[in-house]
Amino acid sequence: MSRRLSGIIIWGGTVRKVRLPKANGPQARSLLFALENIAEPGWVKDRHSVASVSTVDSFRNLPKTLRLTIATGWGAAPLLVIAAGVISVVSGILTAFGLLATADALSVLLRTTITPERISESIPEVSLVLVIYSARALIESLERTVEASVRPHVACAAENNLARVVSGIDVIAFEDASFRELAAQGGQAGVRALANSVTPLLGLLSSIATVTASVVATSLFHPLLAIGVVVACVPSAWAASRSSRLNNLHMLGTVSDHLQKSILAEISTDSRFAMERAVFGLRDRLIVEYELVSKRLCQKEITSGLKRARIQLAGRALSGLSGAVAFGVLAILLYTRWIDVAVAGAAAVAMRVSITSVTGAAGRLYNLFELGFSIELYKDLLRGAAERRRSVGSVAFLETGPDIITMSAVGFCYPGHSRPSLCDINLTIGRGEVVAIVGRNGSGKSTLAKIIGGLYVPSIGKVFWNSVDLAYVRENDIRKNVSFVAQTPMAWPTTAGNNVEIGCHADLPIKEWWDRSLKVSGAGDVIDSLPHKMETLLSTRFVDGRDLSVGQWQRLAIARALVRNGSILIADEATSALDPHAESQVLEFLTSSKESMNQVTTIFVTHRILNARKADRIVVMEGGRIVETGSHNELMQNPEGHYRLMYEVQVPPINTRG
């Protein structure tokens, strides 16, 4: 809950300062969604220290970052990677040879005054220049061709790798907002960056070959000239590193703004918000807040862009200056007759080419530093996903399920939260037992249900199936045994039939069980009312697709769980949206599971006490703890008990007697 105190919002006990928009009316209004102090994802802090490293360290880290591009390409098409590398180096070397040959031709031509004889004498040198440059043009087009094949290979391999790793993530990881944000930022951006890094990486390889060869060539004219060229490279490299660093810091500095913008965009366009957005007339306020955030982003963009432009300008000026110094050295050498005019001309060409290729390399470096940032996020995502992978249990478990489920001193904290949502849960459930979990909103019912079903692993304590610690059971064997109806029914965008059988992997249920599940859940009636019955597409994104009401979706969700015929059925507020007739039909079926469902262990969560009455055992939750357990009659014996008090709130006392 929040209270507003002149620009300070008190939210859950912590004070957050909020900048208010200009008041139009007599009273200033607080922001609804564009709250400045939106939680910054945890990974942003880690990335800050990486993004603000020194120029030297950014160069030192670059190979580590680019190793992933090479490794990804290597995994997908090793021969192409070798070809691309070799061709780039050859192209760089050819550039340098071209330069040497040009210098050579020039020195022949400039040795004395140019005469027709001198020109014909220099024909071999000039021809060599032409041959080399023709070869270079050829190799350049080869370079483009190979590069065009490597790029898609890298993108495809990176995407597949990501899909493989992300699909193995433990379900609880998706409750971690910081990780969700990393997945959103690091996933697609990382894949794009890896693919986009291919071109500048190959370009850089070729530039390194050119620069090395041309510096060596220049040093042959005079070592001082080579030193001049190297010194002229430094400002460009510095500017590339500094401005990409600024860009990366800017990106980190705007993560929260982008988050706010995406929240506002979601609220403005997502159908889930459409009804209340209209009912509460939020359109104008959303527009005001959207503009507030986008103006802030725009301002930050301009500030960062100007800073980068200043750095690039300084880099250009410094490299121009150091280039001038290098050419000054050449002039001095010429003036003091350390070198003659012919050599000086050739040296000047060599220096010019070196400096130009260094400038090109600096541009590629800038690209790579920038892309490297997203590649590092992608790496973080892969690492984070690997850490969040469910530990692979190796113990097999029969599909007939456990005879007994035991929870021993179980506690659970959601990721990123220090306050436990469950504490000290001790509970034993026998095969075929029907257990109702009741309690107020937020008391921990859904969390407990997910732990019993092996969806969440306890933070402390253990869950045993028979005497086997559930943490060591093969995940597939857990899934085969558990059927789960979630609190919010999932609307799968596929046919009605697929919506029911989506959880039956290998074998479809026998016809009798299938029909019974559809009948009990009421899904059969829903499907019969659809134009193409089982084949009706249930998403308006399809041509002729339909949508259902929440209650109808809930019927399909119940059918989906029932047809799986798992040994444990967990239903979390599964009947909350059903009409009374459908609800009593489902509950009747669930609570008579011993007879009707072949000894299925049934756990159902409800906050309607009347629904729990028929369960073999009722577990009452309060503040993440079990505060009472027993049958309806046992719990009603305690006049001060939580259950009895809840019951009397929902059912008039006269009904509680007898």
Ligand X SMILES: Nc1ncnc2c1ncn2[C@@H]1O[C@H](COP(=O)(O)OP(=O)(O)O)[C@@H](O)[C@H]1O
Residues of the shown chain interacting with ligand X in the complex, contacts defined by CB under 6 A: 175, 414, 417, 421, 439, 441-447
Alpha helices in 429-533 (DSSP H): 445-452, 475-481, 496-501, 511-521, 523-528
Which is closer to Mg ion, CB of 388 or CB of 450? 450
User: Are the C-beta atoms of 621 and 443 separated by less than 8 Å?
Assistant: yes
95: closest CA among 354, 323, 342?
Answer: 354
- How is 117-133 classified by DSSP, letter by letter? HHHHHTHHHHHHHHHHH
414 binds, among ligand X, Mg ion, none (CB under 5 to 8 A by kind): ligand X
Closest separation between CB of residue 443 and ligand X, Å?
Answer: 4
Closest separation between CB of residue 503 and ligand X, Å?
Answer: 22
Which is closer to ligand X, CB of 179 or CB of 290? 179
- Within 394-453, the residues that bind Mg ion by CB under 5 A are 446
In this structure, what token pair is assigned to residue 102? Answer: 């040009």
- Within 443-502, the residues that bind Mg ion by CB under 5 A are 446
175 binds, among ligand X, Mg ion, none (CB under 5 to 8 A by kind): ligand X
162: closest CA among 262, 72, 255, 50?
Answer: 72
499 binds, among Mg ion, ligand X, none (CB under 5 to 8 A by kind): none
Closest separation between CB of residue 271 and ligand X, Å?
Answer: 22
In this structure, what token pair is assigned to residue 406? Answer: 């035991």
Closest separation between CB of residue 623 and ligand X, Å?
Answer: 9
Which is closer to ligand X, CB of 101 or CB of 603? 603
- The residue sitting closest to Mg ion, measured at its beta carbon, is 446
- How is 138-158 classified by DSSP, letter by letter? HHHHHHHHHHHHHHHHHHHHH
64 binds, among ligand X, Mg ion, none (CB under 5 to 8 A by kind): none
384 binds, among Mg ion, ligand X, none (CB under 5 to 8 A by kind): none
Place of tokens 């430094």: 234
Interaction pattern, residues 317-346, with Mg ion; x per rule: CB under 5 A: ------------------------------
Which is closer to ligand X, CB of 146 or CB of 571? 571
441 binds, among ligand X, Mg ion, none (CB under 5 to 8 A by kind): ligand X
Closest separation between CB of residue 171 and ligand X, Å?
Answer: 11
User: Are the C-beta atoms of 29 and 21 separated by less than 8 Å?
Assistant: yes
Q: In what order do the strands lie in the sheet with 468-469?
A: 422-430, 404-412, 460-465, 468-469
Kindly determine how many residues on this chain lie close enough to bind Mg ion according to the rule CB under 5 A.
Answer: 1
Closest separation between CB of residue 175 and ligand X, Å?
Answer: 4
Q: Which residues does 425 contact at the CB level (< 8 Å), separation at least 6?
A: 407, 409, 410, 411, 448, 451, 461, 625, 626
439 binds, among Mg ion, ligand X, none (CB under 5 to 8 A by kind): ligand X
Q: Judging by beta carbons within 10 Å of its beta carbon (0-12, 13-18, 19+), is residue 518 exposed, middle or buried?
A: buried
Q: Which residues does 616 contact at the CB level (< 8 Å), separation at least 6?
A: 433, 434, 435, 631
Closest separation between CB of residue 605 and Mg ion, Å?
Answer: 6
Which is closer to ligand X, CB of 248 or CB of 446? 446
Closest separation between CB of residue 657 and ligand X, Å?
Answer: 29
Closest separation between CB of residue 572 and Mg ion, Å?
Answer: 6
Q: How far apart are CA 325 and CA 61, in angstroms?
A: 31
421 binds, among ligand X, Mg ion, none (CB under 5 to 8 A by kind): ligand X
417 binds, among ligand X, Mg ion, none (CB under 5 to 8 A by kind): ligand X
Closest separation between CB of residue 438 and Mg ion, Å?
Answer: 11
575 binds, among ligand X, Mg ion, none (CB under 5 to 8 A by kind): none
- How is 348-417 classified by DSSP, letter by letter? HHHHHHHHHHHHHHHHHHHHHHHHHHHHHHHHHHHHHHHHTBPP---B---TT--SEEEEEEEEE--TT-
Q: How far apart are CA 108 and CA 128, in angstroms?
A: 13
Q: Under DSSP, is residue 465 helix (H, G, I), strand (E, B) or coil?
A: strand
Strand pairing report for 617-622 and 625-630 = antiparallel
Which is closer to Mg ion, CB of 437 or CB of 518? 437
Judged by the rule CB under 5 A, the positions of this chain that interact with Mg ion are 446
